[in-house]
Amino acid sequence: MTKRKLGNSGIEVRPLMLGGNVFGWTIDEAQSFRVLDAYAAAGFDFIDTADVYSKWVPGHTGGESETILGKWMKQRGNRARIILATKCGFEIAPGKKGLSRKHIMASIEDSLRRLQTDYIDLYQSHSEDLETPLEETMGAYADLIKQGKVRVIGASNYSARRLEAALETSAKLGVPRYASLQPQYNLYERAGYEQALEPLCIKHGIGVIPYYGLAAGFLTGKYRTEADKSKSPRGEAIVKKYLNDRGLRILNALDQAAADCNAKPASVALAWLMTRPGITAPIASATTLDQLPDLFKAVDLKLDSAAIETLNQASA
């Protein structure tokens, strides 16, 4: 399993990132530990979370995912072997949101405490903050890097215009720039990334770690009829969004490619992402151990040009 560089950051990772949004939400601590153990045992090392996970659950306040991940790393004694990514910027409590210096400095301390570590490998802006000057945001991150609390920084959910402005600001100030971008990108959601962000990331050597690589599970083939919405807590929303003529066309193409290479649709969907220029590692979450082998297989799955073209046309 070869490693890929995260943009020009110098950090190398296994080309699959485990999404931590499910920890403490759709799976409890014990099951999260089992998934994390299996992921690490298979030789993977790149894990993503955020301070706001899973604030949307009744009774949660945010930080639940980071807390579970911190306990796991502490108990396993494996922090040095993990490439740890987390994010700040979304509202975690009234008045606590955005990318101001004050909020970034408070957020990093809370995340470090919950994660039981003294540094974050990849610290990301979870979303744009148009009310805070980029000079303030990038300056705050530069100080965290100087202090050794952060190795490199990244952006998530940024438009091409805002990302380019952030890169220009870093160059003007002579401070570290964003090394990565975390956009929504998969076989179903293509235009938002490919039209403007993909050429920008390639031009500047920015590593891309797309989230929703499996379109919330739709691209696994799990949801094919209206009746399938009962298969998960998010099933109704997934069926409403993706189960249409285009979605079914994509599933048919995935089925064809999967049959040709003796794999599952989930493996093919992630392998397709890995063929795209600039992609470092797609993000995928798992709630059961049974889901992991299909994710792992994607890393070594080689799609031929005919399969790639079929998928490109079906999802165009």
Helix/strand/coil for 82: coil
Residue 7 and residue 4: Cα distance in Å, rounded?
9
Predicted local confidence at residue 15, as pLDDT: 94
Known catalytic membership, residue 223: no
Match 């039209």 to its residue by tokens: 195
User: Rounded CA gap, 77 and 282, in Å?
Assistant: 26
Place of tokens 């995935």: 254
**How far is residue 174 CA from its own chain's centroid?**
28
Paired tokens of 28: 């409890």
Within 10 angstroms of residue 165's Cβ, the number of other Cβ atoms is 14
Q: What is the value of pTM for the model shown?
A: 0.96
Region 227-235 average pLDDT? 87
Category of 216 on φ-ψ map: left (φ > 0), alpha (ψ -120 to 50) or beta: left
Instruction: Enumerate the domain spans of the chain.
Output: 4-182
* Band of residue 121 on the pLDDT scale cut at 50, 70, 90: very high
pLDDT tens for each residue of 40-80: 999 999 999 999 999 999 999 999 999 999 999 999 999 99
The most distant pair of C-alpha atoms in the chain lies apart, rounded to whole Å, by: 55
For the stretch 258-295, pLDDT in tens is 999 999 999 999 999 999 999 999 999 999 999 999 99
Choice among 39, 53, 141, 178 that is catalytic? 53
Q: Rounded CA gap, 312 and 316, in Å?
A: 6
CATH H-level superfamily of 4-182: NADP-dependent oxidoreductase domain (3.20.20.100)
Give the tens place of pLDDT for each residue, 184-228. Answer: 999 999 999 999 999 999 999 999 999 999 999 999 999 999 999
Is the pLDDT score of 144 beyond 80?
yes
Looking at residue 39, its pLDDT comes to: 98
